[in-house]
Chains A and B, each alone.
Chain A
Amino acid sequence: MTPALGGFAVAGDAAPAWDRAMTDVMSALRSAFTTVPERTASRAQRRTWLDTFDWRLYRAGLRLEYVAGELRLAGAASASAASAASATGATTADGAALTRQHVTGWRPARPRLAESLPPGPVRDRIIRLASPRALLPVATVSSTVTVTRLLNDDGKTVARLLTTRASVAGADLPPRLSVAEVRGYPGQARKAARIVALATGVSPAVGDGFAEILGALGRHPGDYSNKVDAEITAHMPAGRAAAVVLLRLLDTLEANVDGVLADIDTEFLHDLRVSVRRTRSALKLLGDVLGDSVPGEPGRRYHDEFKWLGDLTTPTRDLDVHLLGFGAMAAGLAAARPADLEPFRAFLARRRARERRALARGLRSARFRVLTEDWRKTLLEARDAGVRRRAERRTAAGLAADRTGRAFRRVVRQGAAITGSSPDESLHDLRKRCKELRYVLEFFAPLHQPAAYGKVVGDLKRLQDCLGEFQDTHVQIEEIRALAGAMLAEGAVPAATLLAMGETMAGLASRQRAARAEFEQRFAAFAGPGGRRRMSVLLAPAAGDPE
């Protein structure tokens, strides 16, 4: 078969309107063609759209579908052509943009780590983007394509009308129409498409139909992101802006709980932890403007409770980090053999299973439920109080400039005090300050001018990466030391495994030294005269509170 011409959507929001439009289309077509049903019966199909929880494929302009034992990946440019093609099961001229891979025993309703895909062209195209996340079913669409042949006076098929009726979660979607060309009869297909386009109740289809599918599920594409992206404006009262930011963080935190409990992939826990850390920083840096409800005793309680929550997640995350980096670690061994580390991996996996159970108990506890419920109530009060107390002069922009400036100065001060002989702790402390600064920048990102923001965050990120490498390698060394002790205590450990772990520690130590050596330069780039100028450019309009 040949490419489909023009997609059309039938307007109206219910079956009677669709049927009227379809009747209209068919009678219009009968003025120019004889219409007969295709000899073969209509084709039913189930398609499951897959993506990571944070829509990595969608954001990259990709569509991944599972259809009848096959994964189909369509690129952005030809998404509609590809979905038309997959709807009809036809390979089209645009089919080249479609990457296909057969998979056996795939159950699309089950989340599955991208990593675990069998080798093939689809895996090759998505693995770097999707890893370490799992592919989840976004929506399963059942559709039936009915084909009508359009005949000329000789009774020859010169074009086909494809009617796709789809439903998702029991809800019917408006039918979609397209005209398929028969090779050698392009004019006839164009003529049919013109006729369809002019029928009442039919309009050109926008997009590939996935927006409607998500709409039917009450979702919208990209509805989860781990970015702060709070809906704040420069003129919003400061207290209200802070509450909006914190509510958004709470939403993100809660959105990840189910994924953590089901252990779908490691990023749920990662995002949950980031939300907790951001919340703690926001409490510290912005808590005072939340009104009367947070400062003082209640504030201390939330401070303690979110610290509890953060600590609850730490052991599992640390083990995740070890396990995620395991392959690279094993591959980096010079003297020991990768296989020597296998007992260590097994030990990590056992530990993780145990720690995860403790984490799950915590997330299912009354303590967690009470914390999130109370916190939401408190934040909603603070947000609405912000409206009542319009008299409060401080705006979101003013707050942003003030707190960002303060956080920046703290980083500059602490960083400048660090010398070659400073203890490791001084760098760890500075890393915390940098995180606070990063978070406060992110909270108010919508108020900043994007170019200036990008520059400041870019420099800061490079400094953070250096400090992160320094501390993470340090932590990992300490952990491996402790884990080795624990393994010995548990029973016999092969000497080769301990030796390999020792070599791994040596590798980490040399990375740690390299990070320390790099620190001075990274810090200077961020906090030197150039960096300070960039920061003042960023904060200038906000500080001046324009308009």
Chain B
Amino acid sequence: MRVYATYNIKGGVGKTTAAVNLAHLAAQDGLRTLLWDLDPQGAASFMFRVKPRVKGGGRALIRGSRTLDDAIKGTDFDGLDLIPADFTYRNMDLLLGGARKPTHRLARLLAPLAASCDAVFLDCPPSISLVSENVMHAADVLIVPLIPTTLSVRTLDQLTGFVARFDGHRPRILAFLSMADRRKKLHREMTQELSTERAVVSPTTIPALSVIERMSVERAPVTVFAPRSQAARAYRSLWSDLRALEPVAPPAGGPGGKRGGQSTLVQ
């Protein structure tokens, strides 16, 4: 089982969009895939037309009085299941705070799924919180959408540094440029610069495309309703970058090392 989490401290950068499309591609590849919508706003649940409601709420799941298994809903797609969002997730920090080893609670809850899942996607709300720290400990790979701005580069460096200080299990980071607009000069320059200077940045960029915005109207992954679109191709390329990642995180190092040789993703 490999756990992926889409994460960025910032809102509206394309986390949910990425999680939804990548999860669908994983299932299409034959992986038994589960997407957990951790955002109380339930954007991912909405995309899959699943009601944002979990019996017993977040409390039952975090406390373990209900298993995650119980909360799982099948999506319309073979091999892709979902744990819906719930309004009570907005108190998730409090719930986690009450647990033993509060930063590793999610990792523990996910462990039993290893027998029935090949890929888990966690879609996080934007914040720095106990939830996001839990997600970082649970994830094998953090997928970080970056809007091409100078500020987001700093955010990425901070995140890399933060994760590098973890003891033991340390997630890999794969950032990608999200909503890049080729018509904007700044975007073009940032894209160029980031993908050459930061080894944790994927060579794949997800451009800003109106077909992606249509997902919330279609209520389906773009890889479903427009499988041959540029958008779907871009997500497929991102997914193959993710699959190509080595399973083990590289040894701790400074934030965002320089790229060396041919290798594009490895620090």
Contacts and interface: CB of A to CB of B under 8 A. Distances in A.
Contact of B81 (A149, A157, A183): A183
A184 B76 contact: no
B51 A154 contact: yes
A183 B74 contact: yes
B130 interface: no
B242 interface: no
B76 A157 contact: yes
B72 interface: yes
B50 interface: yes
B10 interface: no
A2 interface: yes
Interface in B39-56: 48-51
B49 A1 contact: no
Nearest to A149: B76
A157 B48 CA distance: 10
Contact of B49 (A2, A156, A184): A156
Interface string B56-84: 00000000000000011111101001000
Contacts of A182: 73-74
Nearest to A155: B49
A401 B83 CA distance: 75
B219 interface: yes
Interface residues of A, number: 12
A182 B51 CA distance: 14
Q: How large is the interface on B (under 10, 10 to 19, 20 to 34, 35 or more residues)?
A: 10 to 19
Nearest to B79: A1
A373 to B, nearest CB: 60
A184 B51 contact: no
Contact of B219 (A149, A155, A183): A155
Interface string A1-24: 110000000000000000000000
A156 B50 contact: yes
A185 interface: yes
Contacts of B49: 154-156
A184 B219 contact: no
Interface string A173-207: 00000000011110000000000000000000000
B49 to A, nearest CB: 4
Contact of A185 (B48, B71, B74, B78): B74
Interface string B73-102: 111101001000000000000000000000
B72 A183 contact: yes
B112 to A, nearest CB: 16
Contacts of A157: 74-76
A1 B78 contact: yes
Contact of B73 (A1, A149, A183): A183
Contacts of B50: 156
Interface string A133-170: 00000000000000001000011110000000000000
Interface in B198-228: 219, 224
B210 to A, nearest CB: 22
B78 A184 contact: no
A2 B78 CA distance: 10
B156 to A, nearest CB: 36
A185 B51 CA distance: 12
A157 B224 CA distance: 15
Nearest to B225: A39
Contact of A2 (B71, B74, B224): B74
Interface of A: 1-2, 39, 149, 154-157, 182-185
7 contacts: A149-B76, A156-B48, A156-B49, A157-B75, A184-B71, A184-B73, A185-B73
5 smallest beta-carbon distances between A and B, as pairs: A184-B73, A183-B74, A156-B49, A182-B74, A157-B76
Given A156-B49, A156-B50, 17 more contacts: A1-B78, A2-B74, A39-B224, A154-B49, A154-B51, A155-B49, A156-B48, A157-B74, A182-B73, A182-B74, A183-B72, A183-B73, A183-B81, A184-B72, A184-B74, A185-B73, A185-B74
